Amino acid sequence: MPISLSVRSGRCQPGALAGKSAYEDLTEFESDTARNYDFERRDRTNPFVPQKYPFETVSKITEVMTHGYGRWQNRECREMKSALMDLDSSGTGRIPLAKFYSRPDGSLYQFNEGVDYLRQTGALDETGRGGPAVLIPNYLAGPTNCIASSAYYSVCCMNECEGLMNELEHKIQAPMASPGRLLGLVGNLSSSTVDAPRALPQGLKTKLHDIADHHDGEVPIHGRFFAQWLHFAFPNECPYPQIIESAAVLTPSQWLEDTATASQEERQKHMQGSNASVIEEASFMSQWSEDEVLPVAEHQKTQRGALGSLVRMAVQIAAIVVVLRSLIAAWDGGARAYQGQKWSDAKKAQLPW
């Protein structure tokens, strides 16, 4: 039975594209996908009749939309990233909160997430001398920039840092690497805002060697230290790895009904209370945290391995003791039998008949 194709979605996005809803965005993608199929069967369709599709065609269109919509929608994320970078005069991936809120009414994007939302989702740097600043990659990865398609999944801005990590994993093919090798590989990685090859700042080189010293000479590439280091190497692509209290704050459902939006009074307070100063290099690096997190704790592995060795050794010793006791018992029984036989023979020799 032919059916009509219709898809609906909603966006939980205070920093939304002006004048364009998520439904309009998704409808455009749906129309483009459907037109591609209409073009393939253009000789069999009447352009003046509303199109209906057989179930098999709808299944194919739905599959294409499911796999392709994330990348298609990510173009808006790239536009938003460009608008955010225009507010970052320091090139550190950080925007003073006053600048973040001071977008004119006619701007393509309006950013109005509240401080509480920014702090809880890890998008706020409050360590710098210039005052609170919004982290560009963390903000882009936030739940208000996701399209809540259903209760089971959301389409969010793509994490550009994952592509960089994929390249490193492909070339290293190990959980750890020397700082020298990492410096060579990262210096030859390009991103949407970084051109390779490049010479990394001395501060980053020193920090990478410090990480290696902390881990006996090598850097765990999946640890939090290295994630922090990648953020400073690619401040516009790699999110700063904040330690959050609950993963629930990263879901769009946590921020429904405008709970993520700052009031006009709150935005005015931050705009008037800051001079939107340029973030200096010293304050940029001040967010570095000495809290390491590893996906697999090596020292715990070693402890478990040592405990296992002790248990195995105890079992082996017990087995040896059992064998020795059995041998001793057998030897003792044999000796007693042998002594008894000698006594019997001697007794027989003394009989008179």
pLDDT in tens, 193-214: 999 999 999 999 999 999 999 9
What local confidence, expressed as pLDDT, does residue 207 receive?
Answer: 96
Determine the average pLDDT of the residues in 245-265: 79
Q: How far is CA 94 from the centre of its chain?
A: 20
Determine the average pLDDT of the residues in 109-138: 91
- pLDDT of 233 higher than 90: yes
Task: Identify the residue with better confidence: 271 or 303.
Answer: 271
Q: Which residues contact 24 (CB under 8 A, 6 or more apart)?
A: none
The string of pLDDT tens digits covering residues 15-54 is: 544 434 554 555 565 666 666 655 455 545 555 666 676 7
- pLDDT of 262 higher than 70: yes
Give me 94's structure tokens: 């950080």
- pLDDT of 351 higher than 50: no
Tell me the range of 52-56, 191-195, 262-266 where mean pLDDT is highest.
191-195
Determine the average pLDDT of the residues in 295-320: 62
Q: Which residues pair with 113 in a beta bridge?
A: 261
What local confidence, expressed as pLDDT, does residue 36 receive?
Answer: 62
pTM score, whole prediction: 0.70
C-beta of residue 144 within 8 angstroms of C-beta of residue 113: yes
C-beta of residue 190 within 8 angstroms of C-beta of residue 267: no
What local confidence, expressed as pLDDT, does residue 128 receive?
Answer: 79
Task: Identify the residue with better confidence: 147 or 351.
Answer: 147
What local confidence, expressed as pLDDT, does residue 353 receive?
Answer: 39
What local confidence, expressed as pLDDT, does residue 10 receive?
Answer: 34
For residue 261, what is the DSSP state?
Answer: B
Give me 260's structure tokens: 């993520």
- pLDDT of 73 higher than 60: yes
For residue 217, the one-letter residue type is G
- pLDDT of 110 higher than 90: no
Of 286, 270, 279, the residue nearest 100 (C-alpha): 270
- pLDDT of 70 higher than 80: no
- pLDDT of 120 higher than 60: yes
- How many residues are recorded in the chain? 353
Q: How far is CA 129 from the centre of its chain?
A: 28
Q: Which residues pair with 96 in a beta bridge?
A: 133
What local confidence, expressed as pLDDT, does residue 275 receive?
Answer: 53
Determine the average pLDDT of the residues in 78-87: 94
What local confidence, expressed as pLDDT, does residue 140 receive?
Answer: 95
- pLDDT of 265 higher than 90: no
What local confidence, expressed as pLDDT, does residue 315 receive?
Answer: 67
What local confidence, expressed as pLDDT, does residue 25 receive?
Answer: 57
Rounded to the nearest integer, the mean pLDDT of the chain is 77
Task: Output the CA–CA distances (angstroms, integers) from residue 121 to 145, 237, 326, in the order listed.
Answer: 12, 17, 67
C-beta of residue 29 within 8 angstroms of C-beta of residue 65: yes
What percentage of the chain reaches a pLDDT higher than 90?
39
What local confidence, expressed as pLDDT, does residue 16 receive?
Answer: 46
For residue 346, the one-letter residue type is A
